[in-house]
Structure 1
């Protein structure tokens, strides 16, 4: 299966300042979801919703290196098989399988160039 981009995240030191910025510059809409200071990003209209996004407090997927730029997650059929493929192809697992209730199973890995990438096995029955 070819994995399609399914989600992106923007990490910010001041989430509320960034929210205002993207509302003004790109016309995005935001809705609070999950922990305080975490927002779902709505990049399109109801008819053309675009790619799901999140605005969240800056974090470090790679120890000692704050995440800059967009954090991309790709939809996969089997996150465990993807983790094996990452290791076999010379990548590194940054975050082992993590389940988000009602969403699915997520890993983060680094490609050989050190870029952090997410892989999500969507499963609305995940608990």
Structure 2
């Protein structure tokens, strides 16, 4: 079995604010599920398989160090449009567009909750090899 990313979770201080941000910036579908303040995320269009995720209240562990995680990058069709959406919806670009030769253009952003996220407009030849 391949080891593909199948699910991710976004932790937020203000879940409703984060929901509005991700819906507006990446066009993700985010629907309530389970306890109040818990949502399921579908990253692809209706009826298409996609990576699933959760949006939930951030809970600090007893140590007070906060949630630890790993970096995720979202593949996008138009990086400039995503940058504009991020800035229009309360996020911030924390690393300006950077070209990785043969791979694509990348930015890092902070969402409304201070989470760091990558957005990459992949070079079509690179994407054809891996996606």
* TM-score, length basis structure 2: 0.47
Higher helix content, 1 or 2: 2
* TM-score, length basis structure 1: 0.48
